[in-house]
Amino acid sequence: MRVLLILVALLSFAPRDAAAQTLAIPANDPPNIELPILIHRGRITVRAQAGMESMAGKIADRAPGYLREISDDLPNLDVPKRIEIRLVRNSASLPAAAPPGHSAPSWASGVAYSDYGVVTIAHYNGSELTDPLSVTAHELSHLALGAALHNRAPRWLNEGFAYLHSSDWSMERTQVLVGMAWSGSTIPLRDLDRRFPAEELEVHRAYAQSYDFVAFLARRGRYVDKKDEGDRWPFRTFLGRIAQGDDINDAALKAYSTSLVDLNAEWYEDLRTRYMLIPASLIGLFLWCFAALLLIIGYIRKSRQAKKILARWEKEEALRAEAIAEGVVPS
């Protein structure tokens, strides 16, 4: 049965053409900032500010591997013909590195411009050091998905897909998800795209929910049966259907045999299962740490008492020896 389901998924995922097509991208206009370092790796070009040779080399070496991993979720779909990664020192320079007529959010560490095949990366976000390699993987995912789905993906799917292919975990995001699990304050799926404002503080909930929902879609099988591990084929079929022009809900029905609304409800139950236990586990951890602290305190007190007893015994033995030496036998 499992083999049959995989064959059905493969057949339903067949692209319109036998091979993936490369998208023609407009010629990249030069950025408004000097990027003298130039490194080529096949269809990937890395440009960087002076003095950033080492990081530019690391990005150039890793980027092809990132793209291969990303393409596993987008088999036989269109790919960018060429990609230019622009590396700058600080996020304040990202607008100057953007294609003409485009800018970048003040809080961003990287931005992808799918229509141009351009990715901009900042080594520092203000005074904070970023992880340029993780940011590169994240932004390349945006670029690849935009090319494969011809920019048909809603914002939540775009952001969630990028999360799948980068190590973009944070404690702050986990705290947001815990709050959603306990309060039920999730954003309705139909409103999620509108919850990505320009200000960083307002966007956390939308990002957290998008990341977690898409991760749920990637690991869910074709059916709700928990034993169906999925192997990502339903998720890839879902993306393939969108690429072929299906409405996103129709794509969900064909890939998962249920509606997007029902999938969102399943995700929330999964979220509660995973995160409702966190506060209880934290209480248990606190109690364990408290008990361990009491044991340590008890050990220290016992050790001090033992030292005092030994010191008294040594003193008494010394007095006894001194008395014997003087010819006095202590009683």
Q: Tell me: the pLDDT tens digits for 208-266?
A: 899 999 999 999 988 766 665 557 899 999 999 999 999 999 999 999 999 999 999 99
Q: Tell me the domain boundaries of the chain.
A: 17-151, 168-275, 279-331
Region of 125 on the Ramachandran plot (φ > 0 left; ψ -120 to 50 alpha; else beta): beta
Confidence at residue 31, expressed as pLDDT on a 0 to 100 scale: 84
Please tell us whether the domain made up of 17-151 is placed in CATH 3.40.50.720: no
Res 40: pLDDT = 96
Longest dimension (CA), the chain: 112
Higher pLDDT, 19 or 246: 246
CB count in 10 Å sphere of residue 252: 24
% residues pLDDT > 70 (the chain): 72
Tell me, what's the pLDDT at 52? 97
Lowest mean pLDDT among 16-20, 75-79, 191-195, 322-326: 16-20
Q: What tens digit of pLDDT does each residue of 269-292 get?
A: 988 888 876 554 454 555 556 666
**pLDDT band for position 96 (50/70/90)?**
very high
- pLDDT at position 178: 82
The pLDDT score that the predictor gives to residue 2 is 40
Is the pTM higher than 0.75? The answer reads: no
